[in-house]
Amino acid sequence: MRARLYSVAASTSLRERTMYLGNFTASMLTYGLFVFIFSRVWAGAYAGRSEIAGYTQSMAVWYFIVAEITSFGFGRYFWGLSRDVKSGQVAYQLGRPYDFVAYNYAERVGGSLADAAVILAEGLAVGFLLVGTPPSAGGGLGAEILRGGLLAVSLLLAGSLNFLLHFSISLTAFWLEENDAFYWVYQKLVLVVGTLVPIEFLPDTVAAAALWTPFPYLSWAPARVFVAFSPADALSLIARQLAWVAFAVLLARAVFSLSSRRVALNGG
């Protein structure tokens, strides 16, 4: 374990990301707009109804606010990784004495922590303005602190899972000149399966099937930890996230191992 390397890589990336505050403007504007639009959509959907599939209108809005943090805070890995492979910039990294997957995780997720923190802060502020306080953690200050801690862990695991899946998809650039289509399919599945609407809103069979895929653990899991908090459920969701992260680590390592044998860096 090379703790010093990975912490320096993460802090360097974080420093670069925070060099210009303007870096966050586009994603903050888009995220704020999405949250506002969905709050209006839910206002229409909840007209005359107090809850849908166990969610009140306030819960549905807060769900969306938290579920979108993975996409907006930890969502830009595919483009950077694919570009580095296609341009040959990856040559420098391949020639270094470190674990390629772990280094990229530290560097890229490290930089994303700034985006995730900014989006989370914006989400809390916008949520308060639109629907008031979030659903209670049920148990006073101690429960609120516990929820906050478990939410942070769940979001970090969601971001890590997102990175590892992006990593595996982007490395298909070693085989294919044009691999964007894989990403588009992946992104749409992430949106449909647990980001735009809670899994519980889907038909039972679809929801049951979705829980066997990694997609709900990118957005549904942290959002559930926040809007329907119970320590036991939160730990169960986090355990499932950990299992998917472990699977995604193996997948990323396998894809890297296969693709690094196919490196073909032409033209300098």
Dihedrals φ, ψ of 147, to 5°?
Answer: -60, -45
CB nearer to other proteins: give 57 or 82. Answer: 82
- Given its phi and psi angles, is residue 264 left (phi above 0), alpha (psi -120 to 50 degrees) or beta? beta
Tokens linked to 258 = 């296969």
Q: How far is the CB of 17 from other proteins (least distance, A)?
A: 9
Q: How far is the CB of 187 from other proteins (least distance, A)?
A: 25
CB nearer to other proteins: give 46 or 103. Answer: 103
CB nearer to other proteins: give 15 or 40. Answer: 15
Dihedral of CA atoms 37, 38, 39, 45 in degrees, nearest 10, equals 120
Residues lying near other proteins in the complex (CB under 8 A) are found at 2, 4-5, 8-9, 12, 15-16, 19-20, 87-89, 91-92, 94-98, 177, 261, 263-268
The Cβ of residue 252 has, within 10 Å, a number of other Cβ atoms equal to 23
DSSP assignment letter at 18 = T
Query: For 249, what's the count of Cα atoms within 13 Å in the CB-facing half-sphere?
Result: 12
Q: How far is the CB of 176 from other proteins (least distance, A)?
A: 9
Measured over the CA atoms of residue 179, residue 180, residue 184 and residue 189, the dihedral's sign is positive
Q: How far is the CB of 98 from other proteins (least distance, A)?
A: 6
For 231, the enclosing helix (H) or strand (E) is helix 231-260
Q: How far is the CB of 118 from other proteins (least distance, A)?
A: 17
Q: How far is the CB of 60 from other proteins (least distance, A)?
A: 39
**Which residues on adjacent β-strands are paired with residue 92?**
none
SS3 267: coil
Q: Which amino acid is at 224?
A: R
CA distance 172 to 179: 6
Tokens linked to 183 = 């990403």
Dihedrals φ, ψ of 44, to 5°?
Answer: -70, -45
Q: How far is the CB of 128 from other proteins (least distance, A)?
A: 33
CB nearer to other proteins: give 24 or 244. Answer: 24
CB nearer to other proteins: give 106 or 119. Answer: 106
CB nearer to other proteins: give 95 or 140. Answer: 95
CB nearer to other proteins: give 219 or 259. Answer: 259
Q: How far is the CB of 256 from other proteins (least distance, A)?
A: 13
Tokens linked to 209 = 């099937």
CB nearer to other proteins: give 141 or 264. Answer: 264
